[in-house]
């Protein structure tokens, strides 16, 4: 299965990691590890999480208030957002 991340999702992810590192040294690294662990769960069980829309699903991170929004097809998994759960999109 091919995996890709949308450029805006990558920017969201990097901004959040930077924010956490400013708040506390190393916390951004912990955040990054948690997001990667969430993506690993998605890769292993892509249809296990609830739909976020008609075409996408949402998997919650365990330690941080973020969700990974993704779309899964037979051949491709695309990450569309690494989104804070309390913020509205846009």
Backbone φ/ψ region at 26: left (φ over 0), alpha (ψ -120 to 50), beta: left
pLDDT tens track for 62-88: 999 999 999 999 899 999 999 998 876
Q: What is the pTM of this model?
A: 0.90
Given a cut of 60, whether residue 90 has pLDDT beyond it is no
- Confidence grade of residue 2 (pLDDT, cut at 50, 70, 90): confident
In order of their start, the domains of the chain are 2-84 (3.30.2310.20)
Helix (H), strand (E) counts: the chain: 2, 4
Crossing angle of helices 27-44 and 7-23, in 10° steps, is 140
pLDDT tens track for 4-55: 999 999 999 999 999 999 999 999 999 999 999 999 999 999 999 999 999 9
């Amino acid at each position: 299965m091919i995996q890709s991340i949308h450029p805006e999702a990558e920017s969201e992810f990097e901004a959040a990691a930077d924010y956490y590192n400013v708040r506390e040294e190393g916390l951004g690294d912990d955040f990054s590890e948690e997001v990667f662990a969430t993506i690993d769960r998605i890769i292993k069980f892509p249809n296990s999480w609830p739909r976020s829309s008609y075409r996408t699903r949402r998997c919650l991170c365990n330690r941080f208030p973020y969700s990974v929004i993704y779309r899964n097809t037979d051949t491709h998994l695309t990450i569309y957002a690494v989104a804070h759960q309390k913020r509205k999109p846009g």
